[in-house]
Chain A
Amino acid sequence: MKRVPYLAPPAFALAALVLSALIGAGAPAFAQTMLFKDRVEQCAACHGADGNSTIENIPSLAGQPEFFVMNQLVLMREGVRPVEQMLPFVKDLTDPEIMALAAYFGMRTPRLEGTKPDPALAQRGQALSERLRCGSCHNQDFSGDQQMPRIAKQRIDYMAAAMRDYRDNKRKGADTAMSAVVFGLSDADIDALAHYAASK
């Protein structure tokens, strides 16, 4: 499990405490909107019981860096990244709940779901990836780091759609880093990259 480095130790300890206290017994240590395990079940309905999504165009969360999940949930709650299906679930999440969810999904083991990578496409994706330096940000093994998501073993359909959204200025509230990376890529390039990332 990767620590969120900017978090002061007490805040981090709090998140861990919330996690251990709430997953099992469910006794709330402080004001919160619902029991943690019920929260996780809400998310699991779409993102998979173990954080690996079996639904088209819904991303897996298993093995995501804690910072990434925390960051995206805060941005969704803010309305900066409006995800329509998630609005009812994020609007009243508290900061400690967000940190606990990030830690919970970060600890699950990622597994590729959905379309299997096509070796020829993946090979083309690898060449593109080297030119565009995907590994410099997402880690060379694509496991993700901090604000950069894990893309290894992520669903191909979701990743291809996400990259098209970055390219076409449709992913609201995103870090501008990805808009620069995918600028000028064709749909075929994007598919190749998604197949390569999923295969890692």
Chain B
Amino acid sequence: MQARYLTSTALAAAVYAIGATLAIAQAPPGMSNIDKSDPKASKQDTNLRPHPTPPLATPAEKLPVDKIKLPAGFKAEVWSSGHPGARTMARGDKGTIFMGTRVIGRVYAITEKDGKREVKVLLQGLTQPNGLAFKDGSLYVFAINRVLRYDKIEESLDKAPEPVELTATYNLPPEIHHNWKYVDFGPDGKMYVQVGANCNICEINPGVHGQIRRYNADGTGMEIVARGVRNTVGFHWHPQTKELWFTDNGRDWAGNAGPEDELNRLPKGQEGANFGFPYCHANGVADPDVKRPNPCAGVVMPAATLGPHAAGLGIKFYTGKMFPANYQNVAFVARRGSWNREQKFGYDVVIARPQGNGKARIEPFLTGLLDNQKNEFYGRPTYVLEMPDGALLVSDEQNGAVYRISYAPQRSAAR
């Protein structure tokens, strides 16, 4: 079983099914989960720290929607507000938008009535319920180390029914850090689940941490589909190739310049492939603190890099009818924005345009929430969701709001 710790893609793929069943929470002998970043080597401002997330929402009239800039023909408006910690969004069959959060511990249900949004606190007091997925009338809620299924949920939004507890079947590792979940059902009907590295930079056990897994909906049949993934907090499947694309947040305290966050593509047939953490980052950058020979051998390189400390989170490929034709099958990626960088970066939504060779080109889309001169931000886009009419919803965790991005062709006279 030592083979599990080898990182050759082919080998990893061959043994992933066996390795997966032998999850051990501790690092293997000779490895350590203790953070390896070296404060003496880092040249960054030693006062960099995560930004606070307010537990109370910004009043509607104070939302920074006027600051948002978009390409010609696109418009941003406030879609809903007053729900602190707004992050993940999943749409029910009857149109309810379920919204997950982190520290505030709530799951919201947002419904539309007479063109207005009604926000309900559906669940409360959970530990970081960031992972939400909807299927066959049921809402799946992944809090840290807790998995719950609420059946026929859209029939009882005023009082959530008793959940079916799936925690034991999913049997996720207990570590807390980088373990707020992102989950979604794939085109194969399986539940895909994030399991982050429980450190900034350390030697994780690749049989346990730094993965994307997939399960049957009830939590049985676990398989590891990607390894060496530091912390993905968003993924989606290309509408045509059905390949899995996922964001991955790069390590901290190795400089203002990166290593950059990744947008990865899991090539078809390479389930179990290795994406490099902790030895190899971004486009083949060797880690300065956790070293080994040939750190990038057998590592799948990203489809694109997403910028230094950008915090690329939610990603969705667009298949709607509202936006112009050249937006078909491009991915929208929310970048929540940096903390471990002196000059702030991100706080926007970008487009990842697949190039047909497995790579993607990154272009700006939603900007204006970062003032580069003042080095200040006004909002933090976290997740995106395509609505049935083709509009795009963008959640803003900092302000507890959702913006709706719509498109109407401009008359040429207006140019």
The chain A residues found within 8 Å of chain B, CB to CB, are: 6, 8, 11, 67, 70-71, 74-75, 78-80, 82, 95, 130-133, 135-137, 139-140, 145-148, 169, 172-173, 175-177, 179-180, 183-184
Q: A176-B144, A183-B199 are in contact. List 15 more A-B contacts (CB 8 A).
A: A8-B62, A74-B104, A75-B103, A78-B104, A79-B105, A133-B46, A137-B50, A140-B47, A145-B49, A169-B176, A173-B105, A173-B125, A180-B200, A183-B34, A183-B177
Q: Shortest beta-carbon distance, B194 to chain A, in Å?
A: 14
Q: Shortest beta-carbon distance, B376 to chain A, in Å?
A: 10
Report whether A79 and B125 are in contact in the complex, using a CB–CB cutoff of 8 Å. yes
> CA–CA, A74 to B125, complex, Å?
11
Report whether A136 and B199 are in contact in the complex, using a CB–CB cutoff of 8 Å. no
Given contacts A80-B125, A173-B105, contact A184 B32 (CB under 8 A): yes
Say whether B395 faces chain A, with CB atoms less than 8 Å apart. Answer: no
> CA–CA, A183 to B178, complex, Å?
13
Sorted nearest first, the 8 A-B pairs with minimum C-beta distance are: A79-B125, A80-B105, A180-B177, A146-B52, A74-B55, A147-B52, A179-B176, A137-B49
Report whether B49 and A71 are in contact in the complex, using a CB–CB cutoff of 8 Å. no
> CA–CA, A146 to B34, complex, Å?
26
Say whether B54 faces chain A, with CB atoms less than 8 Å apart. Answer: yes
Grouping DSSP codes into helix (H, G, I), strand (E, B) and loop, the B interface class, with mixed when no group exceeds half, is loop
Report whether B56 and A131 are in contact in the complex, using a CB–CB cutoff of 8 Å. no
> CA–CA, A6 to B56, complex, Å?
10
> CA–CA, A93 to B102, complex, Å?
22
> CA–CA, A136 to B104, complex, Å?
24
- Count of chain B residues with Cβ under 8 Å from any Cβ of A? 41
> CA–CA, A48 to B344, complex, Å?
40
Say whether B58 faces chain A, with CB atoms less than 8 Å apart. Answer: yes
Of B54, B105, B126, B198, which is within 8 A of A183 by CB? Answer: B198
Within 8 A of A (CB), among B368-386: none
Contacts of A140 in B (CB 8 A): 46-47
Of A67, A78, A95, A183, which is within 8 A of B35 by CB? Answer: A183
Given contacts A179-B176, A179-B177, contact A133 B58 (CB under 8 A): no
> CA–CA, A136 to B50, complex, Å?
10
Contacts of A95 in B (CB 8 A): 56
Report whether A136 and B49 are in contact in the complex, using a CB–CB cutoff of 8 Å. yes
Contacts of B175 in A (CB 8 A): 169, 179, 183
What are 18 inter-chain pairs, A to B, with CB distance below 8 A? A6-B52, A8-B62, A67-B52, A70-B56, A75-B55, A75-B103, A78-B55, A79-B124, A80-B127, A147-B50, A147-B53, A169-B174, A175-B103, A176-B179, A179-B175, A180-B35, A183-B198, A184-B34
Report whether A176 and B177 are in contact in the complex, using a CB–CB cutoff of 8 Å. yes
Given contacts A6-B58, A173-B105, contact A135 B33 (CB under 8 A): no
Say whether B6 faces chain A, with CB atoms less than 8 Å apart. Answer: no
Report whether B47 and A78 are in contact in the complex, using a CB–CB cutoff of 8 Å. no
> CA–CA, A79 to B177, complex, Å?
21
Interface-central residue, A6, A8, A75, by most chain B CB under 10 Å: A6
Within 8 A of A (CB), among B79-128: 103-106, 124-128
Say whether B59 faces chain A, with CB atoms less than 8 Å apart. Answer: yes
Chain B: CB-nearest residue to A77? B55
Report whether B55 and A177 are in contact in the complex, using a CB–CB cutoff of 8 Å. no
Chain B: CB-nearest residue to A99? B56
Q: Shortest beta-carbon distance, B57 to chain A, in Å?
A: 10
Chain B: CB-nearest residue to A65? B52
Within 8 A of A (CB), among B359-412: 398
Given contacts A140-B47, A173-B103, A180-B198, contact A74 B56 (CB under 8 A): yes
> CA–CA, A173 to B55, complex, Å?
12
Say whether B180 faces chain A, with CB atoms less than 8 Å apart. Answer: yes
Report whether B39 and A130 are in contact in the complex, using a CB–CB cutoff of 8 Å. yes
Report whether B178 and A176 are in contact in the complex, using a CB–CB cutoff of 8 Å. yes
Report whether B49 and A78 are in contact in the complex, using a CB–CB cutoff of 8 Å. no
Of B52, B59, B198, which is within 8 A of A8 by CB? Answer: B59
Report whether B52 and A80 are in contact in the complex, using a CB–CB cutoff of 8 Å. no
Chain B: CB-nearest residue to A74? B55
Say whether B18 faces chain A, with CB atoms less than 8 Å apart. Answer: no
Chain B: CB-nearest residue to A147? B52
> CA–CA, A49 to B53, complex, Å?
30
Say whether B48 faces chain A, with CB atoms less than 8 Å apart. Answer: yes
> CA–CA, A53 to B146, complex, Å?
35
Within 8 A of A (CB), among B47-75: 47-56, 58-59, 62
Contacts of B128 in A (CB 8 A): 176
Complex interface bits, B20-46 against A, C-beta within 8 A gives 1, otherwise 0 = 000000000000111100010000001
Report whether A136 and B56 are in contact in the complex, using a CB–CB cutoff of 8 Å. no
Contacts of B58 in A (CB 8 A): 6, 8
Of A6, A135, A180, which is within 8 A of B54 by CB? Answer: A6
> CA–CA, A176 to B48, complex, Å?
17
